[in-house]
Amino acid sequence: MNPTLRLGLLGLAVTLSACSVLDSDKIDYKSAQRGSSLEVPPDLTQLSTNTRYVVPGGSTSAAAYEAGRAQQAKAGDTAAPKAVGDVHIERDGNQRWLVVARSPDALWSPVRDFWLEHGFTLEIDQPKLGIMETDWAENRAKIPQDVVRRTIGKIFDSLYSTGLRDKFRTRLERRADGGTDIYITHKGMEEVYTNAQKDNTIWQPRPADPELETEFIRRLMIKLGVSEEQAKAAAAAAPQAAPAAAKLVNADGTQVIQMDEDFDHAWRRVGLSLDRTGFTVEDRDRAQGTYFVRYVTPTDKKEPGFFGKLFGSSSNAAAPEKYRIVVRSNARQSTVSVLRSDGSAETSANIERILRILADDLK
């Protein structure tokens, strides 16, 4: 459908119901995936050509999820909560994550179920890496529920769109005490007009939403056995002081990111930044302070249109290159460097671009 008509119909519905109010507190996600998922700019691409990120049999569907739940009910849920008190939130500045006194293996199934229950399908489902990532989905609760919407929306549901899409990555990392840190990060896209005539639209990144991340952390706490009241109180706790700033500096002729933090804080913040900015993390070695990532060089080729980006695939993506993101610390100061896949240092446009992306997010 022509973007102008589709967005115009939504505008008409809003105009005809001046008293309509968006329910921003409600979450009702619906997967936007039909075939291939919404593609994103090269800096943020999660490549689907690598088979280690392909879920056997395709993306997980609601029907498959229900069948799995029935089968699990017969066998018994071995990952049932041991106690309400084994889940709590930890914070570093405005960043929150869950600490759970259970192993990643025991948590994988309930965390996976959590996202399926909220209307998502999973594009990445990799227990060995401890990473799962949803497809792009739309929060349908943000669409005005007015007379026009209720009347014709049931028949022409696709006419109504918020022009926003969300994707969430969940990372489970084993703690030294045998428990698990669970991180949830958000990525967003928005549909915007490309010209004054409003006859064409493109999708572009929008800033990550910390409130959405916190809300899903709260809901995951409830899924893992914490009461509604306890989860709400934990998520609403006042933020701590902002973490130390990160800045680009020149060290022996090589650019690095400098952070006035110890290794634990720097490692966690870099991991969250990689999740949030969409790098493909293939592996990580905390003992060596190294994240192994893939990066796609941006191209100047014409981007596909709305339906091409939302439901199709693009052949414009450049071949991915592999890098190492290395965190080194000395007492209360850490540096973050980007190396080639073999661990050698090099100055290139790509490495400088990756450093700027990370530095901007770590600020």
Q: What average pLDDT score do residues 226-234 get?
A: 91
- Residue 131 CA to residue 127 CA, distance in Å, equals 6
Q: What average pLDDT score do residues 94-119 get?
A: 94
Residue 346 pLDDT > 60: yes
According to DSSP, residue 309 is labeled: H
Q: Which pLDDT band, with edges at 50, 70 and 90, does 310 fall under?
A: very low
Tokens of 75: 């066998």
Q: Answer for the pair 269, 124: CB distance below 8 angstroms, yes or no.
A: no
Residue 173 pLDDT > 90: yes
Identify the structural domains of the chain with CATH numbers, from first to last.
1-239 (no CATH), 243-363 (3.30.310.170)
Bridge partners (DSSP) of residue 259 are 246, 334
Chain segment 234-285, per-residue pLDDT in tens: 888 766 666 677 899 988 788 999 999 899 989 999 999 898 887 888 889 9
Q: What average pLDDT score do residues 306-335 get?
A: 70
DSSP secondary structure of 103-116: -HHHHHHHHHHHHH
- Residue 105 CA to residue 122 CA, distance in Å, equals 18
Angle among Cα 192, 195, 199 to the nearest 5 degrees reads 80
Residue 323 pLDDT > 90: yes
Q: Which pLDDT band, with edges at 50, 70 and 90, does 91 fall under?
A: confident
Residue 105 pLDDT > 60: yes
Tokens of 216: 């899903």
279-303 burial, b at 16+ Cβ within 10 Å, e below that, comes to bbbbebeeeebbbebbbbeeeeeee
DSSP secondary structure of 13-70: HHHT-TT----TT---EEE--BSBPPP--GGG---SS-GGGPPTTSSPPHHHHHHHHH
Amino acid at 300: D
| Residue 161 phi, psi dihedral angles, 5° rounding | -150, 145
Mean pLDDT of the chain: 75
Q: Are strands 164-174 and 87-92 parallel, antiparallel or unpaired?
A: unpaired
Of the listed ranges 57-61, 199-203, 322-326, the one predicted with least confidence: 57-61
Say whether 253 sits in a helix, a strand or coil.
Answer: coil
Phi/psi region, residue 360 (left: phi>0; alpha: psi -120 to 50; beta: rest), is alpha
Amino acid at 263: F
Q: Answer for the pair 171, 131: CB distance below 8 angstroms, yes or no.
A: yes
Residue 176 pLDDT > 80: yes
Q: Which pLDDT band, with edges at 50, 70 and 90, does 136 fall under?
A: very high
pLDDT at 47: 33
pLDDT at 55: 36
Bridge partners (DSSP) of residue 169 are 133, 185
- Residue 144 CA to residue 23 CA, distance in Å, equals 8
Tokens of 307: 């339906």
- Residue 121 CA to residue 31 CA, distance in Å, equals 7
Chain segment 17-41, per-residue pLDDT in tens: 333 333 345 788 877 654 344 444 4
Residue scoring higher pLDDT (85 or 288): 288
Q: What average pLDDT score do residues 77-94 get?
A: 67
